[in-house]
Structure 1
Amino acid sequence: MALTTLVLAFALSLGIVLMTPTPAPVRMTVRDAASVLEGKRSGAFGLTIRSAPPTPPRIVEVEASLARMLRVRPDKVRARWLDSDGAGKGKATGQSVILVGNRTLLVDSGAGGFRMRYGADVRIGPDVEMPAFEAAVRQDDGRWRTVIPTDRQLAAWRLRLFVAFGLTLMLSAVLVWIAARRLSIPVRNLAESAARSDLISEPPFRDEGPAEIRAVAAAMNAMHQRLADQAEERFQAFAAIAHDLRTPLTGLRIRAELVPLGERERMIHDLDRMAAMIGEVLDFAQIDRHRLCPKHTDLVAFLTAIRDDRRSLDQDVDLASQLDDGCAMVDKPLLYRALDNLIDNAVRYAGNAILSVEDRDTQVCIHVDDSGPGIPLNDVGDIVAPFRRLEPSRSRVTGGVGLGLAIADRIAVAHGGRLILDNRQPHGLRATLSLPSRPFA
């Protein structure tokens, strides 16, 4: 694409240069020079003050005519040709000037023919158009007022080239934009597909666009399938092990009923703990395999129902005094599981939980506040990691297996949101599920 654009731009530029007509030579008269030297401003000429006169060869014929117009002595005037190739003609006098080498010929033409003169016998009229020349008149301070024509024709020629090159740039920009769009749209689709993909979806990368993009999409689809197959194999192996463990656990629990009372309670407690751990680990592993079924949900009504269920269990769970109206597209069983884990943590460590909803335009936040000890700042970023607990004893009395926050975080991410943990002031913890308020796609 870059090579094609470069060749096209070069071809257009070359065509413009070849088709643009050569500018006509600049013409001026003695009257033009005299007017500027006398102080009249003109955009076609530039006036400067110099310490030295124009360099030879001099044009004595032009100097004599200019001296007559300025009413000064000829020795105070200097002139030289800027363009030694060309000719001019008078507007009404029938005079023309022809340059032959360094010699200036004046041609007087009329009905009876023409006559050529040069040298001292030449008297050039003030309105005879001639090739460009530089003229100067000496001031009283010894410096020279010098007039030089500006190259109007060449300036116009350059302007035409600039306009033509600008049009070339615009045409090239359109072509480059079309080509870039042809490349960027498949790349953007590829990025969006990667952001939405998960291990349980079909191959998410569309095979479209240039050959390179199609090759990347095919490779990423193959990688996605390999990862999905590996994850499925590991989950099946893990689920089989967990299922096989439940059978001996059930048998052990039955046999524990025959053990004397003191040992029986400890054995049954350990067996129940193992069964609960297996259940939590299976729930954690199944989140990534769960296909979301989002539905439009009134979050205030949803939290009210959760509050009522918890209060029926004699738990100190309540709603905040002020609630924003909030709705979102959520998978209600998964969201219930996430909030269940957050409320369990709040009740276990602080004895209470306060639920609230905050609408933030594109995000709707569900807060679970407590008045407990909070989390050390060094552990806020790591506490959501699987099997991570602040209390290292692993005792079921002081906590679970370290998957409650990890499960809540996975559920938030599955909905396109995130779990945020932040200490409250002066004490307590706020766990926030930040979810998109727009329809979930």
Structure 2
Amino acid sequence: MKRLLPASLFGRMMLVLSSGLILAQLLSASINFAERDRAVLRNSGMQSAQRIADVVKLLDSMPHQERLRIAKILSVPPQVVDLEPSPIKTTAAAMRSAQTMMFSQALHSALGDERPLIVSASANPSEANGFPDMHRRPLPGMASMAAYMSGMTQASRSSMQAFMAEKLGFLIQVQLHDGSWVAFTTQLHQGAQAPPWHLLLTLLVLLASVLFLSFVAVRWMTRPLAVLASAAESLGEDIHRPPLPEAGPAEVRRAAHAFNTMQAQLIRFITDRTRIFSAMSHDLKTPITRMRLRAELLDDDDVRARFEKDLLEMEQMVKYTLDFMRGLDQPQHIQPIDIMSLLESLQADAEEMGREVQIQGRTNKPFVGDPARIKRCLANLLDNAVLYGERALIVVDDSATSLTLRIQDQGPGIPEEELEKVFEPFYRLEASRSRQTGGTGLGLGIARDIARAAGGRLTLQNRRDGGMEAILELPHSPA
């Protein structure tokens, strides 16, 4: 069921509202049609019941011979009247439907007593075999009706047949006071007529109108959530993005104000943190410079070399720490980047330092991003590759939606349980703090931050044939 539900809040709300509205309309339509059918049958039955009661009362007040004459006079389609010495047996009489029970109650009410009577119904009034034991009794006006229909056109005959099909044949037998019976054969509307198209059209227009208003209302309610989600995503890419407009309903204004307040606090926190570390970096440079000058005064060459090495490492740690703490504080400068030219410049820089870097594959189009950040990310990954793997191979895979760069080395690899930990600040696989062996433990963390800020991701995995592979996936901006 979860897979069938829409993924968005808008889709789920529309599904619930539309399902409820359609179900309500169907139930309302069924109730209206059922009530209409009952009303039609009730009105038709009450009129026929009153006519039959009047005939019964009239026949009760007459002698037998006079009854026969009056019965022939009153036997006019669509109601045929016949006198019988006893009740007529019919197979249709065995069915006690709601129609027969309703008609019986209406006839008892019209007669004003509880005299014996039998009401039988046939769902096929156009044929006399609706009452199989009454072959001598055709249904109301069938002979004259057949003659009348024979002169009709085919279209008119079809209309008449459709009208007759909407009728329900009734055989009503009532006992007179002297014990004889009078039988009435008549027809009533079944009620289950063709649905009124104007009513269906009205319901359809009402449903469409309510669904449209629901669509507008749900879109209006969920749009601020979509804007807030987009703002939260872009905040990770650019902390200095423009604040959200604080407009709309009270709840939306409160959410936008809270988001803008949070953004301002984050900017202030990052700015204060960067300022502190910049001051620390500036203040540390002075004592490091003095220590370097004093180290030059040492007579022991070995001690002086070790001092200079430690001081150089301290300077690098201060620089890398400052770079990491600055993080993504600076706004991005987005522009098209020729990735191949950038990779070739990094390759040339590495070769000048005696490192081997190869490039495989090409890009199809420029990548839109911040050149300085992308260069820094790739430089950190290449430094990590040549530091531990002696040489690096950059595999370029450019598709319509994303740019994937794989930086492969031939080093010893990383234990599987350490693949994510190496992105943590100051975390290194080696216990020593030597730049030549372990670095500062900040390069991969900075590279991942840059990848995330560009909307991409950076992962590490061990290669099957040995070595490590850093996979940098960067999405192309939509055209």
Is the structural similarity TM-score above 0.5?
A: yes
Is the contact between residue 393 and residue 407 of structure 2 (CA under 8 Å) also seen in structure 1?
Answer: yes
Change (3 A) 1:15 1:208: farther
Deviation of the 1:21 alpha carbon: 9.6
Distance of 1:171 and 1:340 partners within structure 2: 60
SS at match of 1:255: helix
Whether the 8 Å CA contact 1:182–1:209 is kept in 2: the answer is no
1:370-391 C-alpha deviation (Å, 9 max, x unpaired)? 1111111111122111111111
The 1:388/1:158 distance shift into structure 2, 3 A limit, reads farther
Report the residue type matching 2:307 in the other structure.
Answer: M
Deviation at 1:309, TM superposition (A): 2.5
Q: Which residue does the alignment assign to 1:107?
A: none
CA shift for structure 1 position 398? 0.8
User: Whole-Å Cα distance in 2 between the matches of residues 413 and 392 of structure 1?
Assistant: 29
Structure 1 vs Structure 2 CA RMSD: 4.1
Which residue pairs with 1:94 in the alignment?
Answer: none
Structure 1: state its 5+ residue gaps: 29-60, 88-97, 105-122, 137-148
The residue type equivalent to 1:241 in the other structure is M
Q: Return the match for 2:227 from 167, 189, 210.
A: 189
Q: Distance in 2 between matches of 1:384 and 1:161?
A: 68
Q: Which moved more, 1:222-231 or 1:154-163?
A: 154-163
Counting helix residues as a fraction of each chain, which structure ranks higher?
2
Match among 315, 320, 324 for residue 280 of structure 1? 320
Q: 1:426 to 1:25 in 2, by over 3 A?
A: same
Distance 1:203 1:324 in 2: 32
Cross-structure match for 1:127:
141
Name the structure 2 match of 1:25.
40
Count of residues paired in the alignment? 355
How far off is 1:186 after superposition? 1.7
Structure 1 equivalent of residue 272 of structure 2: 233
The answer on 1:346 being equivalent to 2:366 is no
1:318 aligns with 2:332: no
> How many angstroms apart in 2 are the aligned matches of 1:242 and 1:433?
31
The structure with the largest strand share of the pair is: 1
Q: Share of identical aligned residues, percent?
A: 32
Distance 1:131 1:351 in 2: 97
Question: What is the one-letter code of the residue matched to 1:344?
Answer: D
Identify the residue that residue 336 of structure 1 maps to in structure 2: 375
Matched with 2:330 is 290
User: Retained in 1: the 8 A contact 2:273–2:325?
Assistant: no
Classify the secondary structure of the residue corresponding to 1:356.
Answer: strand
Q: Distance in 2 between matches of 1:185 and 1:431?
A: 38
Instruction: State how far apart, in whole Å, the 1-side matches of 2:384 and 2:420 are.
Output: 17
Instruction: Measure the CA separation in 2 of the matches of 1:77 and 1:404.
Output: 96
Name 2:3's counterpart in structure 1. Answer: none
SS at 1:358's partner residue? strand
Matches within 5 A, 1:181-260: 181-198=219-236, 200-202=239-241, 204-260=243-299
TM-score by length of 1: 0.69
| Partner of residue 88, structure 2 | 74
- Flag the 1:99–1:291 CA change in 2: closer, same or farther, 3 A: same
Q: Secondary structure at the match of 2:421?
A: coil
Partners of 1:82 and 1:132 within 8 A in 2:
no
Q: Distance in 2 between matches of 1:204 and 1:426?
A: 49
**2:207 matches 1:169:** yes
One of 355, 375, 384 as aligned partner of 2:414:
375
How far the C-alpha of 1:150 sits from its partner, in A, is 10
In structure 2, give the amino acid aligned to 1:83. Answer: F
For each residue in 1:216-236, what CA deviation from the matched residue of structure 2 results, as whole angstroms up to 9, or x when unmatched?
A: 111121122122212222221
Q: What TM-score do you get using the length of structure 2 for normalisation?
A: 0.64
- Name the CA shift for 1:287/1:407 in 2 (closer, same or farther; >3 Å): same
| Counterpart AA for 1:75 | K
Does structure 1 retain, via aligned residues, the 8 Å contact 2:424–2:445?
Answer: yes
Distance in 2 separating the partners of 1:165 and 1:363:
50
Alignment of 1:46-57 (within 5 A): none
Shift of 1:165: 4.3
**Cα distance in structure 2, aligned partners of 1:307 and 1:131:** 94
